Amino acid sequence: MTPRTARSICAALMAAGVAISAAACGGSSSSSGAGTSKNAAATGTLNVWIRGAGDSPKAYQKIFDAFTAQTGIKVSIGKATLTDFETALTAAASAHQLPDVVIDDAAQMGNFVSQGIVLPIDKTKFTGADQLTDQAWASATDLKGQTYAVPFSAQANVLLVRKDWLDKLGLQPPKTWDDLAKVAQAFTTQDPDGDGKNDTYGLAVPGSTSRGYTSWFWSSFLYSAGGDYLKANAGKFTATLNTPQAVSSAQFLEDQVCKNKDVQPSALGDDTTAANKAFQTGVAGMYLTGPYAYATMDATAVKGKYIAIAPPTGPTGTAGTLAEGTDIFTMADSKQDEVTKLEEFMVTPAAQKIGMTAIPSATVVRLPVNKTVDASVVHGNDPRWQLAQQVYATSGHYEYDNAPNWTQLRQKMSDDLNKLLSSCGSVQTGLDSMNSDVASLLKQQGVG
């Protein structure tokens, strides 16, 4: 069996959810297929796959057109979808038909490295590396310090709040969890839209287990409580999901769902599309989400009726919120030299600005990773973008994208948390069980 065949089989098993360690796959960072592509000097049209839909491919095409005009190197979008994207990529790896470049969530890095389908990035030879923020580069670096992707876009969750509802009820924007609970309860019980019906709720929650949304949404509360999912030390991880901080954050969320009942009724089955709709249609009056939602919300009836504020602080005054990114991955056997030129172009100020404004309905660059670009200025001095950039810099907290398979861990935590919230059970008991489950998975992945 060749190493590549072994990796393909392991990739298929991991994609199918079969428990198999990264080490067994030969997929630790040190044996991940890192190195130089055998096709490094090849030329021709670059095949790029993008996890995105709607108008996003149009925005990326604008960037690629500018790159082609500058370099003469053509770029073709081979696939662009949100549905089963990683499954399709795994199938392409098994068929030895990987694209040259993949643009995907930063959270996929560890998974791709474990499968041995991406090449490392040599920052010392990457033109413009010093213009990218250290925070963004850190999110693309594994436990041993090897960088496996080029950061392209960043974001951090902010809180959208219906200003017209606050004004009608004589309330102030929430600054703490206590404030948040009070406003949520008022939005649920005091008819803020004035239609005489009991049909509004405080908080829009994407609580579905799909793609790990339950855990994804919880993370901002976990960080602002001073908690965390894991603790990294000497190349290993320890699960920290049953600490007092984690328990308090899960208890707060359970209180909103079970005791106060101030989230939309379908919350535990809703993905982000459904949660967006709950806010856009006046079902819920607050929504913790990324700044990419500005364009989506401004295209609906809530335009001009909501404000964006920093996420409320936790019980000890800690400011924390989920930070995420979109990365550019150099795939194994790619036309590596030309791919590097594309990657270097995509993080220039010019390309970052194209990604922020060329297609208003698709801001594929949410917050620029290039520290010379001011998001607020690019968006016409819109203070919402200044807020988002400030929140990202001061309290943004990435998930553990460098775990061998963070997707698997997040999915398990989401399943466990959704089960806890659905049953309104003991939070301490639920998180003790979750911590044990995650500890077992970390051992299976070779980092526990």
**Local structure of 124: helix, strand or coil:** helix
Per residue of the chain (448 residues), what is the pLDDT tens digit? 333 333 333 444 444 333 333 333 333 333 334 477 888 888 999 999 999 988 999 999 999 999 999 999 999 999 999 888 999 999 999 999 999 999 999 989 998 998 999 999 999 999 999 999 999 999 999 888 899 999 999 999 999 999 999 999 999 999 999 999 999 999 999 999 999 999 999 999 999 999 899 999 999 999 999 999 999 988 899 999 999 999 999 999 999 999 999 999 999 999 999 999 999 999 999 999 999 899 889 999 999 999 999 999 999 999 999 999 999 999 998 999 999 999 999 999 999 999 999 998 889 999 999 999 999 999 999 999 999 999 999 999 999 988 999 989 999 999 999 999 999 999 999 999 999 999 999 999 999 9
For residue 294, CA distances in Å to 4, 200, 256, 383 come to 43, 21, 25, 12
**Which residue type occupies 389?**
Q
Closest to 338 (Cα-Cα) out of 57, 15, 99, 167: 99
DSSP H helices, 39-84, are 56-71
Cβ atoms within 10 Å of 83's Cβ, excluding its own: 8
Give the global pTM. 0.86
Q: Beta strand 306-309 with 158-162: parallel, antiparallel or unpaired?
A: antiparallel
